[in-house]
Amino acid sequence: MNTILWVLQLSVAIVFLYSGTQKSIYSEQKLVASGQTGVEGLPIGVIRFIGISEILGTIAIILPLLLHILPVLTTIAAICLAVIMIPAAVIHYKRREFKNVLTNCILFLICVFIAYGRTYLTN
């Protein structure tokens, strides 16, 4: 189970690192053109905040458990990343972007599973 959780954590980290990096450096127009339509109409400061939050979540879902320093932060990061997917799914649903809603739901479920697994399945 530990291996499965690590694979899921790394997968989630890659997705959020990519997304967060893009939101941290690109303009709203470039993000929308690249398929990140959920940021359309948001102030650039909010877009940057989301991007930085995703990058920090990426760090927190890997490093605490890897370094054995406050490993509970991995669980907290997984929960926080799951929470980010809720408004993302709502935004995409309102835009009738059902493929993105499905992606958000899958990421939500994976993050919830990581949080559950790191809390109850491994020790």
Question: Is pLDDT above 70 for 37?
Answer: yes
Domain count, the chain: 1
pLDDT value at position 123?
Answer: 60
Residues 6+ away with beta carbon under 8 Å from 118: 5, 65, 71, 74, 75, 78
Tens digits of residue pLDDT in 55-102: 999 999 999 999 999 999 999 999 999 999 999 999 999 999 999 999
Residue type, 88: A
Please state, in angstroms and rounded to a whole number, the distance separating the CA atoms of residues 86 and 13: 18
pLDDT value at position 122?
Answer: 76
Structural domain including 76 reads 2-121
